[in-house]
Amino acid sequence: MEVILIVVMVAMVGLMIWQSRNARKQESDLRDFRESLEPGTEVITIGGIIGKVVSVDTQYEEIVIDSEGSLLRFAFRAVNKAYTRPAYVSDDEVDEDGNPLTDDNDSPQESIDEDNVADQVAIEASSEDAEEGTVEEEAKSPSEQF
């Protein structure tokens, strides 16, 4: 019973140390990101406001963001991350499985097998004969052959 209690205590201490290291790493990464901000960078705030950085004031830890013509001043802590517009695909551009639709001109060639080739040759031959006005018995339907 005491062994299980010791193992649980050691696991909890290890988990706390691991979580604190991850928190410090995330904090360090966020601090580096905020220090690297410069005008022209597109960012998103924790409130969801998207805009481009106009100016950065490191003395007062403030940043000015231009969002659709409105200049807004935020504290560094309000800037969450760099903004990248997500890709958007309309439902009209994909089939029911989510695969992109192709144009008729861009459709892939059907796989060629011997049966399709033989059928295609027979169709082309019968259309050439029909154009000349002579139809061979092979091109006639089975009921017409007898």
| Amino acid at position 27, single letter | E
Whether residues 71 and 28 fall in one domain: no
What pLDDT digit, counting tens, does each position of 85-134 carry?
777 777 777 787 777 777 654 445 554 555 565 566 666 666 555 555 54
Same domain, 49 and 22: no
Q: What is the pLDDT of residues 52-94, one digit of tens each?
A: 999 988 888 889 998 888 899 998 888 888 887 777 777 777 7
pLDDT at residue 31 above 50? yes
Domain count, the chain: 2
pTM above 0.95, yes or no: no
Q: Are 14 and 41 contained in the same domain?
A: no
If asked whether residues 30 and 61 sit together in one domain, one would say no
Is 144 within the bounds of a domain?
A: no
